[in-house]
Amino acid sequence: MHFVFTPPGESAAGLLDLPWTVPLAEWDDARLVEIRQRGLSRHTVRFVAEGGAVYALKELDARLARREYRLLRELRSLGLPAVEVIGVVVDRPDRQDAILVTRFLDHSSSYRALFANARYSHPTDRLLDALVELLVRLHLAGFMWGDCSLSNVLFRLDAGAFAAYLVDAETAELHPALSEGQRDYDVSLARERIAGELFDLAAAGTLPDDVDPIDVADDVVRRYEGLWDELTREEILHPSDQRYRIAERLRRINSLGFDVDEVELVDAGPEGARLRVRTRVAEPGHHRRILLARTGLDAQENQARRLLNDIAAFRGHLERLHGGPVPEVVASNQWLAEVYEPVIKAIPPDLRDRLDDVELFHEVLEHRWYLSERSGRDVGTSTAAQDYFASVLPTIPADLTESGRPPDTTS
């Protein structure tokens, strides 16, 4: 056999003594775990808990496994939203298929779990926004998916919205740039697959009655075309309004969650100048980077934006309290110690894995707003957190998302 693992190898060292010579479907190992929120797969897929993490193991043709391993590594290096590939096992005995190893995405859900859960009875728009944004980011990077569907994506909560992550790249291709025909093929395939998946949900009784699978699938195409046009179109700017129009275009692109890499103005004669905007292909990162630098917290983009707003409000409170300016770094560290960390430490242990910490804090802030509106005064974060832990958090099903942590077997 031949093991290939991504550096550093420590993350996969504990996997080396798994029964790799046995067909994956026949494994009987104490480290095997069930993941309830897994999506559908045409291959045998099993999950292993090792070293405090959960790994997904997929058995498939060796050529496809090597290819997917390489593509997932390239996506990761580009900063695109995809699962983290750990390694691939090839040349197994008796000409068995290879096994691709990826790290399970913490606190993620399949589209089926989100539609089936009453807490997200109408997630269609948010799921489509996340999926379309992912597809556009991939296309900007020259990545033709070839198998875009809801089943090949995992979704993570992001301050009430969703972030989509690619989990299957075995049919994908990476090019310097995609032609219009390649993009059209991907979008058409996505439309067909999504319609079929939603018809399956309707047959199972988990699709809301007012959701039409064909209308939703057509809407995917419209949303994709609108986002692609906003990010890539060229426009002629008159000299008198170039500064304003450029600023407005960049503001719209940033509001869509994309960063601008380069702005180019090409002389177009008497008409003015032709504006070309090159958009960064990496996953959303502007607010994430700021939050990480100020607090050390790693969050999704919308989550980071929400927490930065709360830090700004807390800084304003400190400045009123002290009667003068408070440095940003001081306010951020004080907010972390006095506002964020007390809430996280107060989470009841039996509810600890219902949501990731940052999403839970976001929900506490939303609950604070709700309680304050109802009472006509600011109830404060601590009071809101205690009420949220008592009345809201227990209603979130334990199987809505998976934390990626192995089950507790000590009791």
Give the CATH number, domain containing residue 186: 1.10.510.10
* Of 306 and 346, the one with more pLDDT: 346
CATH number of the domain enclosing 26: 3.30.200
* Residues 120 and 202 occupy one common structural domain: yes
Structure tokens at 256: 């869509």
Q: Are residues 72 and 156 both part of a single domain?
A: no
CA–centroid distance for 93 within its chain: 37
Q: Which residue has the tokens 């219902």?
A: 354
Does 177 share its domain with 95? no
Segment 87-106 mean pLDDT: 90
**One domain for residues 217 and 115:** yes
Residue 99 shares a structural domain with residue 118: no
Structural domain total, the chain: 4
- Asked if residue 400 belongs to a domain, the reply is no
Same domain, residue pair 114 and 215: yes
Question: Does residue 401 sit within a domain?
Answer: no
For residues 239 and 215, state if they share a domain: no
Domain boundary among 103, 133, 157: 103
Least confident of 124-128, 237-241, 374-378: 237-241
What pLDDT does 120 receive? 59
Which tokens go with 6?
A: 């991504």
Question: Is the residue at 410 inside a domain?
Answer: no
State the average pLDDT over residues 153-171: 85
Is 275:246 a contact under the CB 8 Å cutoff?
yes
**What pLDDT is attached to residue 378?**
83
Q: Which domain holds residue 252?
A: 235-274
- In this structure, the answer to whether residues 91 and 121 fall within a common structural domain is no
pTM above 0.95, yes or no: no
**What's the average model confidence in pLDDT over 169-197?**
93
Q: Is 66 exposed, middle or buried (0-12, 13-18, 19+ CB in 10 A)?
A: middle
